[in-house]
Chains A and B, each alone.
Chain A
Amino acid sequence: MSNFLLYMRRLVLELFEGGWRYFAWTLLLALLSLAGLNAYCKQFVHGLVTTGMTDQVSWGLYIANFTFLVGLAAAAVMLVIPVYVYKDETLHDVVIFGELLAVAAIVMCLLFVTVDLGRPERFWHMIPGIGKLNWPGSMLSWDVIVLNGYLLLNIYICAYLVYMKYLGREPVRALYIPFVFLAIVWAISIHTVTAFLYVGLGGRPFWNSAIVAPRFLASAFTSGPGFIILTLQLIRRYMHYHFPDAVLLRLRSIVQVSMILNVFLFVCEVFKEFYIETAHVASAKYLFFGLHGQHGLVPWIWTALAMNLAALSLLILPVSRSLKYLNLACALAIGGIWIEKGMGLVIPAFIPSPLGEVVEYLPTLNETLICLGIWAFGLLLYTLFLKVTVPVLKGKIRFDGNAPLKAIQ
């Protein structure tokens, strides 16, 4: 036990160690998080009237970001599967970074759901046993369970592997392999359940489509590994954690295939909506062309489409074997998918309203600050996770059995 406390202490001390870049970056993120906290306090006092949401468009940026981030969290599985299922060792040294990203992303998801609540202090009503969780009826209750479960699984796997590395011991397979495989299934489930949250609403034809879950997974497996490609290079450059370019190129092939599927499923959906032109096409019409003179999302969705197509072209061409173009493709894919899955999926379903009213949604500054704050907080968490994990992986922080106390005093 004292070994573990010593380990924790060394990790905490490591957080206060670093160059000016590290401090500038974490300070910036901390200040942005505080700006978000301040905006949230205002919302908590005055109510959700501080957002741009209405009875017509009753979910907005919070749920949009939540949906995107569930995908980012689920994407860790795209590193886990090659390593643990196919025994492909290329990604072995970086798989932990995907799992840490999943932890940070799930924390962001939980924050985005919490800030969306009108009565956040009543969160305990959702706790099974003391509250009244509507399981298995409500898909939201499934989401509460799978998201928290995924968070715990990833925290456990990361913490166990990093601690074993610190102790210089070989991890006991029975203590983590079952959890890794459980986490694979679980990762698919978090994004499927989140899709079912939308699919399960018969009164919202834009969402009530079986293709939503596959589309969610395809887009998640594009944007997630894309995000990891970018962060891995930052880790390599600024934290001096070395790995060959082959790692990035292996991830490239994952992003490539996922992006092709993503665009294909998108085309399937567009065909179904527009070729038949039933009354159900109204939301899609609003999204792509505007409806009854309202065009709020039109520039956004075409930008997203352009970004996705540009990313697809780069990814299937050999140019993206060069990191410069690969990074560009990943950035485009992340941006495109963030728009498409966030605003492009959540908001049009409310427009027109079930009674045919076209009321547009525009987020307020306060709402935007809260979103920025949560993103900053999530990135701060991820930075701190990396800050303590990388030195352990590199052997810089390791258990010194002979003189544990001397090491730090």
Chain B
Amino acid sequence: MADEKLPAGRPYFHPEGTEASGITRREFLGVAAVGLAAATAAALSPLRQLADFPTLEDWLRKHYTELTPRDKEAIFERIRAQVEKDYGVRPNLTDQPPLDGVMFAYALNIGRCVGCRRCVYACVNENNQSRDPQIQYIRVLKMKKGSIDVETAEHYYEGEVPDPDHYYMPVQCNQCRNPPCVKVCPVKATWPEKDGVVVVDYNWCIGCRYCEAACPYWARRFNFKKPGLPKEELNPNMGYLSNRPREKGVMEKCHFCLQRTRAGRYPACVEVCPTGSRKFGNILDPDSEISNIIRTKRVYVLKEEVGTNPKFYYYFNV
């Protein structure tokens, strides 16, 4: 081959470039290499603004179910310190385990809901969701009376409620017994707890949003940017698997206010509802209000055909 006949030491010297431009190939490649290195450095420059890169300790943090009590205490202490630093309040961070003999379920009286959306905002305040952009777990659909087609529903209605020509259908996580979001998660970052609540490990989620695509109820939310939560609006009573402040790039969802319900309180949306349309309790207890409703009222679930078997029921009072 022609190249191999060239003088030793410059085997890949190419005559074309040299004669025309007066620079050798080696010089050309040198300039190109320096130029590309500079261009690469310039391309990487936005990384200087990176503020929330995880520490090695956080990056290597194990899955929630594999943490020992000692791991947990160390992690909780780090979170408390971080929250105190970011929000100026020392939080009451807990990790209540599920209670034995408890399976939570929810029932919503569709005939009584007046569409005031107090539940939506009580949820946001309780659960430390991002205010900018605002993340809401509950979506209230304003439906024309006589219509069951959600495509004709109004999602962003304003003005006085209730409107006599409409009824209102709030939708939130259905806490499915057969949850598609759990099935599709590639890393088991979301799972149903023993009390039936589907939770997310915010430190294990990789942010692929497959669960968001899988959910038939549009109940999951993604943190497209760092959550914007003003200091004065932080709720310092927080649970590890529920309402502690989230990070950019992870999923979150309704968790039946675990930080409250596992301590014997109602979820914020139930407590705030002015019409008593929202009912919550333990379906394993036959004497509970929720068990009574499911037994005696006309009850239905959304999208029964997708086989998710929700624990969130709708009912009416006739």
Q: List residues of A whose CB falls within 8 A of some B CB.
A: 13, 16-17, 19-20, 23, 27, 30-31, 34-35, 37-38, 41-42, 44-49, 51, 53-56, 58-59, 113, 116-123, 125-126, 131-134, 137-141, 144, 197, 200-204, 279, 282, 291-292, 349-350, 352-358, 396, 407-409
Are B4's CB and A407's CB within 8 A? yes
What's the nearest-Cβ distance from chain B to residue A280, in Å? Answer: 11
Residues of A within 8 A of B185 (CB): 134, 138
8 pairs, A vs B, C-beta closer than 8 Å:
A17-B12, A23-B32, A27-B32, A37-B40, A58-B209, A118-B250, A279-B149, A352-B151
A356 touches B14 (CB 8 A): no
Q: Flag if A48 contacts B45 (CB, 8 Å).
A: no
A/B pair count, beta carbons within 8 Å? 199
Contacts of A46 in B (CB 8 A): 225
Whether the Cβ atoms of B208 and A45 lie closer than 8 Å is: no
B12-26 interface (Cβ within 8 A of A): 12, 14, 16-17, 25
Determine whether the beta carbon of A141 is less than 8 Å from that of B46: no
CB distance from A391 to the nearest CB of B (A): 9
Q: Please name 13 further chain A to chain B contacts, defined as beta carbons within 8 Å, in addition to the given A201-B184, A203-B306, sorted by A numbering.
A: A17-B3, A37-B40, A38-B44, A44-B50, A48-B224, A58-B213, A58-B222, A116-B208, A118-B250, A119-B207, A132-B187, A200-B184, A356-B149
Are B207 and A355 neighbours in the complex by a CB distance under 8 Å?
A: no
* B318 within 8 Å of A (CB atoms): no
Tell which of A37, A53, A357 touches B224, judged by Cβ atoms closer than 8 Å: A53
CB neighbours (8 Å) of A349 from chain B are: 213
A138/B210 contact (C-beta < 8 A), A202-B216, A352-B151 known: yes
Bound Cα distance from A49 to B183, whole angstroms: 26
B45 and A118 form a contact (CB under 8 A): no
Check if B39 sits within 8 Å of A34, measured CB to CB: yes
If A17-B14, A408-B11 touch, whether A47 touches B43 (CB-CB below 8 Å) is: no
Flag B220-234 by CB within 8 Å of A: 1 or 0 each: 111111100000000
Chain A neighbourhood of B208, CB < 8 A: 113, 116-118, 140
Q: Which residue of A lies closest to B156 (CB)?
A: A357
Interface residues of B (CB under 8 A from A): 1, 3-4, 8-9, 11-12, 14, 16-17, 25, 28-29, 32, 36, 39-40, 42-47, 49-51, 53-54, 59, 63, 133, 139, 141, 149-153, 155, 171, 180, 183-189, 204-210, 212-218, 220-226, 248-251, 303, 306-308
Q: Which of B17, B153, B155, B248 contacts A118 (CB 8 A)?
A: B248
Contact A19 B248, beta carbon cutoff 8 Å: no
Assuming the contacts A13-B12, A292-B151, asked whether A201 and B180 have C-beta atoms less than 8 A apart, the reply is yes
Q: Are A37 and B44 in contact (CB under 8 A)?
A: yes
Say how far B95's CB is from chain A's closest CB, in angstroms: 19
**Which A-chain residue is minimally distant from B53 (CB atoms)?**
A121
Measured CB to CB, the closest approach of chain B to A294, in angstroms, equals 12
Residues of B within 8 A of A356 (CB): 141, 149-153
**Are B43's CB and A35's CB within 8 A?**
yes
Check B212 against A58 for contact (C-beta < 8 Å).
yes
A144 to B153, CA, bound (A): 39
Determine whether the beta carbon of A203 is less than 8 Å from that of B204.
no
Provide the bound-state CA to CA distance between A258 and B154, in Å.
44
Q: What residues on A are CB-neighbors of B213 within 8 Å?
A: 58-59, 201, 204, 349-350
A141: chain B residues within 8 A (beta carbon): 186
**Are A203 and B224 within 8 A (Cβ)?**
no
**Are A47 and B11 in touch, CB under 8 angstroms?**
no
Find the A residue at minimum CB distance from B178.
A202
How far apart are the CA atoms of A8 and B225 in the complex, in Å?
44
Within the complex, the shortest CB–CB distance from B217 to chain A, in Å, comes to 6
A357 pairs with B248, CB closer than 8 A = no
A34 touches B214 (CB 8 A): no
Q: Are B204 and A122 neighbours in the complex by a CB distance under 8 Å?
A: yes
When the two chains form their complex, are residues B249 and A118 in contact, meaning their CB atoms are under 8 A apart? yes
How far is A197 from B210 in the complex, measured between Cα atoms in Å?
9
CB <8 Å contact, B207 and A118: yes
User: In chain A, what residue has the closest Cβ to B66?
Assistant: A132
Contact of A132 among B8, B11, B63 (CB under 8 A): B63
**A355 and B217 contact, CB distance less than 8 A:** yes
CB distance from B208 to the nearest CB of A (A): 6
Contact in complex: B45, A41 (CB < 8 Å): yes
Of the residues A51, A119, A282, contact of B206 by C-beta under 8 Å: A119
Q: Which of A37, A54, A134 contacts B186 (CB 8 A)?
A: A134
In the complex, the answer to whether A19 meets B16 with C-beta atoms within 8 Å is yes
A125 and B224 contact, CB distance less than 8 A: no
Residues of B within 8 A of A138 (CB): 183-186, 210
Q: Contacting B47 at CB < 8 Å: which of A20, A27, A45, A407?
A: A45
Query: Known: A47-B226, A409-B11. Is A119-B186 also a contact (CB below 8 A)?
Result: no
- Decide yes or no: A355 and B11 within 8 Å by CB, A38-B46, A116-B208 being known contacts: no
Contact A47–B248 (Cβ < 8 Å):
yes
Most buried by B among A126, A139, A357: A357
Report the Cα distance A34→B38, complex, angstroms. 11
Cα(A63)–Cα(B312), bound, Å: 32
CB distance from B57 to the nearest CB of A (A): 13
The 6 residue pairs across chains A and B that have the minimum distance between CB atoms: A118-B207, A118-B249, A203-B216, A356-B150, A49-B225, A140-B186
